[in-house]
Structure formats: C-alpha cells, structure tokens
Chains A and B, each alone.
Chain A
Amino acid sequence: MTVVLEVKNLQIAFGGVKAVDGLSFSVDAKEIIAVIGPNGAGKTSAFNCITGFYKPSSGAVLLYGQNITGKRPADIAAAGVSRTFQNLRLFPDLTVLDNVRAGMHLYGGQNWLDAILHTPRFKRSEAAYTEEAHHWLDFVGYSGARGVPIRNLSYGQQKHVEIARALARKSGLLLLDEPAAGLNYTEKRDLLDLCQRIRELGTAIVLIEHDMGLVMELSERIVVMNFGKEIADGTPAEVKANPAVIEAYLGKDDDEEVSARGDA
C-alpha cells in the first residue's frame, strides 16, 4: 500500500485559540477515512491547513512523501489534492458544465494563442473538456440541466456538481467537507454508493461528517478530534468503544450539560 497523505503533528492557532493542536494521521491509497468530532473541534481548519488555505503554525503535510506544508492552494491542488467545501463554493453565475470544467483546468491542452486563432488543437481540447465534464456529471449521478447557471439549481444538485468538479481534478486524494449535510435518507445511500465508486477509481477519500451511520458504514478508519486535539484514531469498532470519544460526544457522567450530537 502506498501512503497518499501523511499529516504530522499539525498545529494552527488563531490568536490564542489553538484550532488544530497536534493532529497526525495518514491515508493509504484507496482508503476512506472519516474525521469526526463535535462542532468547532478544528476539522475544517485541519482541511484548510492540508489544502493550503491556512498556513499551519507547525507540523508537516506530506503528499506521496513530498512535503507540501504551507504551499499555496493551487500548488497543492496540482500536487494531487482536490476538495469540496463545507458551504458549497461553486461559481454561481457560470453554467454547470463550466463549473465542472474548473476541475479540469490543469489538463491544459491549449494556450491563449490557440484560443485567439481557434486552431484545431483548441477545438479538440474544448470538445474533450465538454465530453469529460459530461462524464463526471454522469458519474456522480447528476440529473438536471447542464447548460444553465448554477444559481438555478437545487441544493442537492449543487452538491453533486461540487463533487463532480472535485472528481474532474482526477487527483489521488479527495477531501469532502460534510458531503451528507442536508441530504435525505435516499440521497445519503446514493452518496455512500458514490464514495465506493470513487474509491474504485483509485482515489483515497478523507471526509468530515456528522452522520455517524454513514461514517461507520463507509470508513475504514476514523480520526476523532475534540478542541483541536486528536483523541482517537482507529477502526469504527475501536472508535466506538473508545472512552475518550464517548466522553467527547456524550460528556462525562457528572456533567450537567449532556450534548448528544449526531447518531453516536
């Protein structure tokens, strides 16, 4: 098994708040890993550190053994990481197809002179972009108009498009930030199926998710975070039995505030 991603003792602080405080985990090829934890545990901050949107205060992120810590997001994406965002970040005025084409930017295949002169190379490349965009929309099971601006779409459709866009990046690692949020039961089953099919493409997935049913069924390993710290890392069964995790989710027995989150 090749190690795709390795996160070593990642830390980031905003002012005095340590949003991520010593996170370490690794992801093998074709593995599905879930990062869970109560709201504000630092999961999304960790994603943002890995993808270069935040510069970690310390620690390292290795992709295929190559250090990508603190590089700019575009370079990290080019190195082979693609992601979705917690609150959809699509290009609202652009068409569905154009949004998916964004994931294909790194394919190249044409330059500005080709575009101005409309060379055969340009036409071939544009046709390939379009075909590929349709392919990924089909792959995620998107059913809806494709030549219309994103803002006309329903939330569920937009989620599909965002995943299609990330897949079009064709990277070995896909980070999904709460992909199941706001989906109903059937849609969650479809998502589960989709994740399996993505894995069959050879892509490893790291997902942040609150739906414990989905997490337990889907992931090989689970990383649990609380207050920026990593409190557990193991198989679903191990994590379920881990007292620290139970405490984080349900609180100690003597706690007044019992905050049961998710389906845990």
Chain B
Amino acid sequence: MIQLIWDGLFVGSFYALIALGYSMVYGIIKLLNFAHGDIYMLGAFIGFAVLTSVGGIPASLSIGALLVVMLVSMLLTGTAGVLIERLAYRPLRGAPRLAVLITAVGVSFSLEYGISALAGPNPRAFPIRLEGNVFVLLGARISLPQIILMLIAAMLMVLLNFYVEKTSTGRAMRAISLDRNASLLMGINVNQVISRTFFIGSALAGAAGVMAGAYYGKIDFLMGFIIGLKAFTAAVIGGIGNIKGAMLGGLVLGFVEAFGAEWFGGQWRDVFAFAVLILFLTLRPTGILGQRVTERV
C-alpha cells in the first residue's frame, strides 16, 4: 500500500513536470501541443549526446554531471520549443483548429523520426545510471535516486510557480490566457510571452527527459509518445490551462495508475490511464481545479 503510494508519487512527479508544459501552452494559446512528449524525448537524447561526447563519467560525480547535463538539455529543448512555435505554430495562429492540430502531429512526427534517423531506431543505453542504496521506509522500498529526482522536480515546480505568480512575465502570461487581444492593447508583447511560455514548458519536459534517461537507463525515439499522452491526461485531470492543476493532476494520475496496475495487472496500466482520461473528459472536462467556461455564441 505505502509502496504503491510512493511509486505513484514518483511517477506522478514526472507526469506533472511534462503536464506543466502542456497546460501552460494550452492555457496561453489554446493549442494542444502534440509534440510536447517528443520534446521530452529530445531532452533525453540531448543529454545522451552531451554525455557521450564528454566521455566516461565516474560514478561518484554522476549527480553533479546529471545536473549540468540537465541544464544544457533544458536550454536546448527550450530553444527547440521556441523554434517550433515560431516556425510551425505562429504562422497558423487564427487558422482553423484542425489545421493547427494536424501541424502539431506533423511536428511530433518530424521530431520522432528525425531523432530516429540521427540516432538510429534502436533503444540506446543512457551513459549515466543513478545508483543508490535502497532503504525501507514504512514498508516501502525507496531509493536515493528517486528522492533526488523528486526533489529536483519539486524544485523546478516551485520555481515555475514563483515565476508565474510573482514576475511581470508571469502576470503577462496569465493576462494573455484570459484575453489575448486585450493584453495586446495593454502593451504586452504577446509574441515574446508566448515564446517564453514555450521555452519554459519545453525546458521542463527536457529536464524530465534527462531525469528519465538517468533513472531508467534506456532511451528510444518513441519514448515520448505514451508519456505525452499521460501528461496530457494529467493536465486534463488537474484542469487544463491551470498550472497547479497540472501538478496535482500528475500526482493523481500517478496514484491512480499505480493502483490500477496493482488491481488489473501491469499490462493494463496504460489502458487504465486512458480510461481515466476519457472518464474525466466526459464527466468533468474542466478537471479538478478548472473553472467552467461558458462558450459564447
């Protein structure tokens, strides 16, 4: 039981980190960025590339190396996010939603098979592997890497929350998500703020990608597909567009999945997660923390 809660919490923090990007982008330009899961994959591969080019890393330095690689990866995936927005999504602002969604699918496809063409279609072993002692707390097996990764994730989320709530850019983001035209009239540089949103969301996904690589030890070009779907589920559960909701949704999904896998068997884990998504969309599309919006005719 405690073990399940702990596992759920751990996986959930990954989901939350990726769900944030989904939710922020959706909140600000009402775009479902299908490629977001692939940014996570890109982050893992950038980490892989950096580490392999540096050469062997002694195990004692692995935590420090991980942090450095993570920062590099965040910077690059953030930039990739900005570029994707600039080249693929911005020209379509105001276009029918269908066109934008299809573009996002195209971007996702390009990222996946671009990496596959560069790095090969087979899974790669991540150069550093976090090793650590497992200790037992209240009956749950907990490892040091898990705690470190969760701390990093939590720190990133606290920073993000501070940024959105306290800085002027954060305020601008919230303003744009309420009314883009009014924000424009108030002198907010809307394009710049949207770019920053993409940067932050993509950087968080990139960080999650490096962390996942270091934890699971194996990466491949389709690793972002399922987790992208899960992160979207998390964002919906929490209330899409809502930053705290995304964090909450990630954790909730982590729990639900851990328990679902326990009850129905591990092979039904993904089915269970999607079933939760469909249930939420049907019964409460605004999620736990979302607000009901009346659509104007």
B294 touches A48 (CB 8 A): no
Dominant SS among interface residues on chain A: loop
Q: How far is the CB of B124 from chain A (nearest CB, A)?
A: 46
| Chain B residues whose CB sits within 8 angstroms of the CB of A53 once the complex forms | 297
The bracket for how many chain B residues form the interface is under 10
Q: When chains A and B are docked, how far (Å) is the Cα of A36 from the Cα of B297? A: 20
Total A residues in contact with B, Cβ cutoff 8 Å: 5
Whether A14 sits at the interface, judged by CB under 8 Å, is yes
Dominant SS among interface residues on chain B: loop
| Chain A residues whose CB sits within 8 angstroms of the CB of B297 once the complex forms | 48, 53-54, 85
| Chain A residues whose CB sits within 8 angstroms of the CB of B294 once the complex forms | 14, 54
Q: How far is the CB of A175 from chain B (nearest CB, A)?
A: 13
Residue in chain A with minimal CB distance to B294: A14
| Chain B residues whose CB sits within 8 angstroms of the CB of A14 once the complex forms | 294
Q: How far is the CB of B81 from chain A (nearest CB, A)?
A: 32
| Chain B residues whose CB sits within 8 angstroms of the CB of A54 once the complex forms | 294, 297
Q: How far is the CB of A37 from chain B (nearest CB, A)?
A: 19
1/0 per residue, CB under 8 A from B, across A43-57: the answer is: 000001000011000
Q: How far is the CB of A140 from chain B (nearest CB, A)?
A: 24
Q: How far is the CB of A54 from chain B (nearest CB, A)?
A: 7
6 contacts between A and B (CB under 8 A): A14-B294, A48-B297, A53-B297, A54-B294, A54-B297, A85-B297
Q: Which of A53-81 contact B (CB under 8 A)?
A: 53-54
Q: How far is the CB of B45 from chain A (nearest CB, A)?
A: 41
Q: Which of B279-297 contact A (CB under 8 A)?
A: 294, 297
Q: How far is the CB of B98 from chain A (nearest CB, A)?
A: 12
| Chain B residues whose CB sits within 8 angstroms of the CB of A85 once the complex forms | 297
Q: When chains A and B are docked, how far (Å) is the Cα of A14 from the Cα of B294? A: 8
6 nearest A-B residue pairs (beta carbon): A53-B297, A48-B297, A14-B294, A54-B297, A85-B297, A54-B294
Residue in chain B with minimal CB distance to A44: B297
Residue in chain B with minimal CB distance to A48: B297
Q: When chains A and B are docked, how far (Å) is the Cα of A85 from the Cα of B294? A: 18
Q: When chains A and B are docked, how far (Å) is the Cα of A48 from the Cα of B295? A: 12
Q: When chains A and B are docked, how far (Å) is the Cα of A85 from the Cα of B297? A: 9
Residue in chain A with minimal CB distance to B295: A53
Q: Which of A11-26 contact B (CB under 8 A)?
A: 14
Q: How far is the CB of A254 from chain B (nearest CB, A)?
A: 33
Q: When chains A and B are docked, how far (Å) is the Cα of A54 from the Cα of B297? A: 8
Q: When chains A and B are docked, how far (Å) is the Cα of A246 from the Cα of B157? A: 58
| Chain B residues whose CB sits within 8 angstroms of the CB of A48 once the complex forms | 297
Q: Which of B218-269 contact A (CB under 8 A)?
A: none
Q: Which of B155-172 contact A (CB under 8 A)?
A: none
Q: How far is the CB of A251 from chain B (nearest CB, A)?
A: 27
Q: How far is the CB of A88 from chain B (nearest CB, A)?
A: 13
Q: When chains A and B are docked, how far (Å) is the Cα of A14 from the Cα of B297? A: 13
1/0 per residue, CB under 8 A from B, across A1-40: the answer is: 0000000000000100000000000000000000000000
Residue in chain B with minimal CB distance to A54: B297
Q: When chains A and B are docked, how far (Å) is the Cα of A209 from the Cα of B2? A: 67
Residue in chain B with minimal CB distance to A55: B294
Q: When chains A and B are docked, how far (Å) is the Cα of A119 from the Cα of B118? A: 56
1/0 per residue, CB under 8 A from B, across A83-96: the answer is: 00100000000000
Q: When chains A and B are docked, how far (Å) is the Cα of A54 from the Cα of B294? A: 9
1/0 per residue, CB under 8 A from B, across A187-209: the answer is: 00000000000000000000000
Q: How far is the CB of A108 from chain B (nearest CB, A)?
A: 26
Residue in chain B with minimal CB distance to A89: B297
Q: When chains A and B are docked, how far (Å) is the Cα of A219 from the Cα of B48? A: 76
1/0 per residue, CB under 8 A from A, across B176-205: the answer is: 000000000000000000000000000000
Q: When chains A and B are docked, how far (Å) is the Cα of A211 from the Cα of B294? A: 30
Q: How far is the CB of B13 from chain A (nearest CB, A)?
A: 35
Q: How far is the CB of A76 from chain B (nearest CB, A)?
A: 13
Q: When chains A and B are docked, how far (Å) is the Cα of A9 from the Cα of B294? A: 22
Q: When chains A and B are docked, how far (Å) is the Cα of A48 from the Cα of B294? A: 13
Q: When chains A and B are docked, how far (Å) is the Cα of A26 from the Cα of B297? A: 24
